[in-house]
Structure 1
């Protein structure tokens, strides 16, 4: 069952990738504390929709989120090396963090996993976006399979307070 609005974000260890820094391992409780944030999940780095439409929208609007005091995090069930290469290929700006959830720990704790074994992908994250303040979920949007409508950067920017 997916996490609900009003619930605290789970506290699990993930690898964090920032354009200007080394990969670090951190607990999400520490990472998300004291922040307004958008966390969006994608089925996989380098996959077509994720690379051509989903992540690029957030990269393009990153400064607009920051102007509202909102941090942006993208997560996928991929290892840190793949996520670092994806960040470089997508020209992810400094401060925009990618989370490598290699064992799907965060994905499962959020209740947002999907079984992609029919496509050779194993357990992955459903496509989602959430807005949280101080570690509490204020908004959760989850896409229907094959869609990219309610989790775009434009939708989430409009949903964040100014």
Structure 2
């Protein structure tokens, strides 16, 4: 069953790129005691993700924080090296924390996977966003295949 509003964010281990290389991020600790605006993209450097999704959260970072968001995070079924390179290329450093879900464990637990095999991408995460307060999902926005509306930074701003 797909995750729903009111559910606890599932336990997961993400990876993030640091100056010392990839480092593990405990999801329970990451979500604890703060409000997180998390969005998921099917893949780093892909067209909609690079042209609209990530740039929207970079542009709206201050507005989201002014409405109570402590941290903005992006996740994708990519490795930490790719997510780190995408962050640098997009100018996301300092605005959006990149959380690599390299094996897709987080999106599998949420039951929000998609099959990108016909594009040579394999199993990926669906496009979605959520607001997580102290580990509890208080808003969940899952896009229909091919859509980009509900998971945008603008839509999330309206939910805060």
CA contact (8 A) 1:7 1:136 kept: yes
Give 1:22 shift.
5.3
SS state at 2:75 partner: strand
Q: What is the alpha-carbon distance in structure 1 between the residues aligned to residue 143 and residue 28 of structure 2?
A: 25
TM-score if structure 1 supplies the norm length? 0.93
1:54-105 CA-partner distances (Å, limit 9, x unpaired)? 1100000111112223121100000000000000000003152011000001
Q: What is the alpha-carbon distance in structure 1 between the residues aligned to residue 41 and residue 20 of structure 2?
A: 22
Q: What is the alpha-carbon distance in structure 1 between the residues aligned to residue 12 and residue 138 of structure 2?
A: 20
User: Would you say how many aligned residue pairs link Structure 1 and Structure 2?
Assistant: 159
Gaps of 5+ in 2: none
Distance 1:27 1:60, change over 3 A: same
Aligned to 2:133: 133
Q: What is the alpha-carbon distance in structure 2 between the residues aligned to residue 17 and residue 59 of structure 1?
A: 18
1:114-143 CA-partner distances (Å, limit 9, x unpaired)? 111111100000000011111111111111
TM-score if structure 2 supplies the norm length? 0.94
Q: What is the alpha-carbon distance in structure 1 between the residues aligned to residue 145 and residue 121 of structure 2?
A: 15
Distance 1:17 1:66, change over 3 A: farther
CA contact (8 A) 2:77 2:103 kept: yes
Aligned to 1:63: 62
Aligned to 2:47: 48
RMSD: 1.5
Q: What is the alpha-carbon distance in structure 1 between the residues aligned to residue 93 and residue 49 of structure 2?
A: 17
Q: What is the alpha-carbon distance in structure 1 between the residues aligned to residue 88 and residue 25 of structure 2?
A: 21
